[in-house]
Chain A
Amino acid sequence: MMRKVRADLHLHTCLSPCADAQMQATAIVREAKKAGLDMIGISDHNSAENVAAVVKAGAREGLPVIAGMEITSEEEVHILGLFNTEQDLMNMQDVIYQNLPEGDYGQAYGPQTVIDEWDNVVGANSRLLLGATALTVEEVVDAIHERSGVAIASHIDRERFGLIGQLGFIPEGLKLDALEVSSLSSFEQEFDYPIVTFSDAHYLDDIGKSCTCFIIEDASVDEIRKALRNEMGRRVVVN
């Protein structure tokens, strides 16, 4: 049966060096439920090593967690990739790691903490997660699609790291599934892509501040894709 699913699919965890240390699995799930969300997505910069932890923490509380990653293209454009399975996502992570600058960067831009589903620290990532990959925007989008994922250009209304802020335009024929805006009120331009809005939360307080409702049957990326395409009665309600 179709239902309305309130979703914030762009959340960072303590793995992103720019995110708050409190962005841990149980805390994120707790805050998401408090904010009235029915589904969340985890998308750290160029890594997915905390996705499994939040998926498990969400499962305990009955909150579906979409496996995602926010990928930085060669042009320093941020693209959100959302995947059906953790397997697809980990496969994507391999590609991203192969295309990030090599070497041990320690915690140069801030802590990149790997946690388990109980928020225990289990490691630290020392890759340059805030770096750009060697993949063009087109290659990033294609790589997401090859793994049956959904590709969304992040915060295109922001000057830094947004598709339009970096390039000044949306390249012709770019096969994006949607564009994300930070807030609908700041956004007046019209594009030939569906629009969604998510919080891009780096702090617990920001979770759910922007969200999008999907009219779908279950909380999955395949259903989200159908909603973005207005297929089989699925649709998007931005609010």
Chain B
Amino acid sequence: MKLTELIEKLNLDVRSAKANLDREVTGGYASDLLSDVLAHSKEGNIWVTLQVHHNIVAVASMKDLVGIILVSGREPEQETIDKAEKENLVIMVTEMPTFELVGRLYNLGVTGM
């Protein structure tokens, strides 16, 4: 499924790299521990987290993730947005908490294995 489609169906708000929404999402990963995401997420994943500091951009770029969804209404810090724009990385936000968001992603066919 394309990222644009997910954004529309889940009503996500895009906070960075608005011109880079065409990529294919091939799976998902949910974790708030950056070293865990570095170790276990896969290229093409969408990443669900509550961390908003700029190091999330470094992790997502290193792993070539499709984008990051911040949960529970948490907003990225300005430095995070600046860095994401530079790296052309899509950051999205939602009011949904992790459990709800991941359930809906799964229902849309985004799996974690």
List residues of A whose CB falls within 8 A of some B CB.
74-75, 136-137, 164-169, 171
The secondary structure that dominates the A interface is loop
Are B33 and A166 interface neighbours, CB within 8 A? yes
A75 adjacent to B58 (CB under 8 Å)? no
- 8 sample A-B contacts, Cβ–Cβ < 8 Å, listed by A number: A74-B51, A75-B34, A75-B53, A136-B53, A137-B55, A167-B34, A167-B55, A169-B58
Q: Which residues of B contact A168 (CB under 8 A)?
A: 34-35, 37-39, 59
CB distance from B57 to the nearest CB of A (A): 11
Nearest A residue to B35, CB-CB? A168
Q: Inside 8 A of A75's CB, which chain B residues have their CB?
A: 34, 51, 53, 55
Q: Which residue, B35, B39, B55, B77, has most C-beta atoms of chain A within 10 A?
A: B55
B74 to chain A, nearest CB (A): 11
Asked if B53 and A166 sit within 8 Å, CB to CB, the answer is no
What residues of A have a CB within 8 angstroms of the CB of B55 in the complex?
75, 137, 167, 171
> Chain B, interface size: which category?
10 to 19
* Contact residues, B15-57 vs A (CB, 8 A): 33-35, 37-39, 51, 53-55
On chain A, the residues within 8 Å of B38 by CB distance are 168-169
Given A165-B35, A168-B35, A168-B39, A74 and B58 touching (CB < 8 A)? no
In the complex, number of A-B residue pairs with CB atoms less than 8 Å apart = 30
Taking the nearest CB of chain B, how far is it from the CB of A126, in angstroms? 26
Contacts of B34 in A (CB 8 A): 75, 166-168
Interface of B is mostly: helix
**Residue of A74, A164, A167 most packed against chain B (CB within 10 A):** A167
Q: How far is the CB of A166 from chain B (nearest CB, A)?
A: 6
User: What's the Cα separation between A171 and B37 when bound, in Å?
Assistant: 16
- With a cutoff of 8 Å between Cβ atoms, the chain B residues found around residue A166 in the complex are 33-35
Q: Which of B51, B53, B77 has the most CB of A within 10 A?
A: B53
Q: In chain B, what residue has the closest Cβ to A160? A: B33
Smallest CB gap from A76: residue in B: B33
Known pairs A74-B53, A75-B55, A171-B58 / 7 extra A-B pairs, C-beta < 8 Å: A75-B34, A75-B51, A136-B53, A167-B35, A168-B37, A168-B38, A168-B59
Assembly CA distance A165 to B39 (angstroms): 11
CB-defined contacts of B53 to chain A, threshold 8 Å:
74-75, 136-137
CB distance from B15 to the nearest CB of A (A): 18
Q: How far is the CA of A166 from the CA of B35 in the complex (A)?
A: 5
Q: How far is the CA of A66 from the CA of B95 in the complex (A)?
A: 45
A164 to B35, CA, bound (A): 7
* A128 shortest CB reach to chain B, Å: 17
Tell me the complex Cα distance, A46–B59, Å. Answer: 27
Query: Can you name the residue of chain B whose Cβ is closest to the Cβ of A139?
Result: B53
Q: Give the Cβ gap from B83 to chain A, nearest Cβ, in Å.
A: 11
Closest Cβ neighbor of B80 among chain A residues? A136
User: What is the bound-complex CA distance between A164 and B37, given in angstroms?
Assistant: 13
Measured between alpha carbons, how far is A137 from B58 in the docked complex, in Å? 14
Nearest 4 interchain pairs by C-beta? A168-B35, A168-B38, A167-B34, A136-B53
Min CB distance, A155 to chain B, in Å?
14
